[in-house]
Amino acid sequence: MSKLATFLRFVPLLILPLALSSCTLQQAAMVVHAKGEPVPWWCNSTEEIPVTTGPAVGNVDYYAGTHKAPLGWDECLATSAHFDAAKDYALKWPTAGAAEADGFYKATPYVNGMGTHHIKGGLTPAMLNDPNFNKDNPNLDAAGLDGVFDPDKPEVLQYDGNGPDAKLVGFDYYVRTNTGQPPEGFPGNQDWWHIHPKICFRKADAVMDGFNITDAACTSRAGINVNMSNYYMLHVWVLDDMQFSPDVYAGMIPCISGGTAIHDAKDPCHFGRSGGMASAKMTAASLPREPDRGNTLLASAHGATTPEHLLVCSGIARRGSAS
């Protein structure tokens, strides 16, 4: 018997004390594995929206001709542990105000489907106005955007509004490569990275003011058009109140809309998209909208009630209290 199999025999007993108060994705995944069930949703993304669809993305589909497949159990447990670490890291700043007070800079104001994009350090007016700044081939290490993929420490935090009280909704990774291809990222072929080839940043405050516009148009907005085609982005949705079970790596999710977000984990927007896959293939002219409460969204295996890892843990807690 392998060491992993031996360890998993005792997982329920090891997790029981923790389950009464909290539960991680990795702990829940280990319980599911010990029961002989398939990998949980965060290890089995089924939504295949091309990375060339959505607002202001590039026109190269790095994953054309490929399909997503469930992770193996070793991959799932390792990825779950990284998600837990990244989640703990992001939750240090539960509000936009807390993040900004600690050096995160709002690079992108609130956008439907995503929220804001706050980066530790981030581009500054001084960087953009430096005559030595290379807008065509920028090195943004000093802005917190380098060529290192650290799965436990995402570069970008996202919030559900532009004010200081805006709540955390998610996080994403933003990594530079020099290969013309996305970083290797997480195990398997589920993490489909995308790019925003040109971003116009205002020189006065370094806030994004346009995507994929001409240099002349950017200049007319008192901005500088920065080539970001070597910088790849990946969203992750694993917060307890902001999950999206069809695809943990979805570029945009329907729960974030109208200047706010739906933090109720039972809401159908966390389990599918109104209108199905056709409406999920969004373009810049078709941003996410408030879910239509009159329609039935894509169903989840657990009935759209509770985040799956918490459901597993609550089951363990119930069994423990009954014994």
Model confidence over 17-45: pLDDT tens digits?
333 346 899 999 999 999 999 999 999 99
Q: What is the mean pLDDT of residues 174-196?
A: 97
Question: For position 307, what pLDDT does the model report?
Answer: 62
Tell me, yes or no, whether 6 lies in a domain.
no
Share of residues in the chain with pLDDT > 70 (%) = 78
Radius of gyration of the chain from Cα atoms? Answer: 20
Tell me, yes or no, whether 240 lies in a domain.
yes
Tell me, yes or no, whether 291 lies in a domain.
yes
Tell me, yes or no, whether 2 lies in a domain.
no
User: Is 94 buried (19+), middle (13-18) or exposed (0-12) by CB count in 10 A?
Assistant: middle
Question: Cα 120 vs. chain centroid, distance in angstroms?
Answer: 16
Q: Please say whether the beta carbons of 302 and 308 come within 8 A.
A: yes
Q: How far apart are CA 258 and CA 43, in angstroms?
A: 30
Place of tokens 């105000």: 97
Tell me, yes or no, whether 103 lies in a domain.
yes
* pLDDT at residue 268 is higher than 60: yes
Comparing 293 with 11, the larger pLDDT belongs to: 11
Tell me, yes or no, whether 12 lies in a domain.
no
Question: For position 18, what pLDDT does the model report?
Answer: 37
Question: For position 296, what pLDDT does the model report?
Answer: 23
Tell me, yes or no, whether 19 lies in a domain.
no
Q: What is the mean pLDDT of the chain?
A: 84
Comparing 96 with 309, the larger pLDDT belongs to: 96
Q: What is the mean pLDDT of residues 114-129?
A: 93
**Amino acid identity, position 171:** F
User: How many folded domains does the chain comprise?
Assistant: 1
Tell me, yes or no, whether 156 lies in a domain.
yes
Contacts for 189 with CB less than 8 Å, ≥ 6 apart: 63, 66, 67, 68, 69
* pLDDT tens digit sequence for 57-102: 999 999 999 999 999 999 999 999 999 999 999 999 999 999 999 9
Looking only at the bridges linking them, the beta strands covering 260-261 and 231-236 are unpaired
Comparing 313 with 25, the larger pLDDT belongs to: 25
* pLDDT tens digit sequence for 4-17: 544 444 444 344 33
Q: What is the mean pLDDT of residues 54-58?
A: 89
Q: Which residues form the domain of 240? A: 24-322
Question: For position 121, what pLDDT does the model report?
Answer: 85
Q: What is the mean pLDDT of residues 252-279?
A: 88
Question: For position 310, what pLDDT does the model report?
Answer: 61
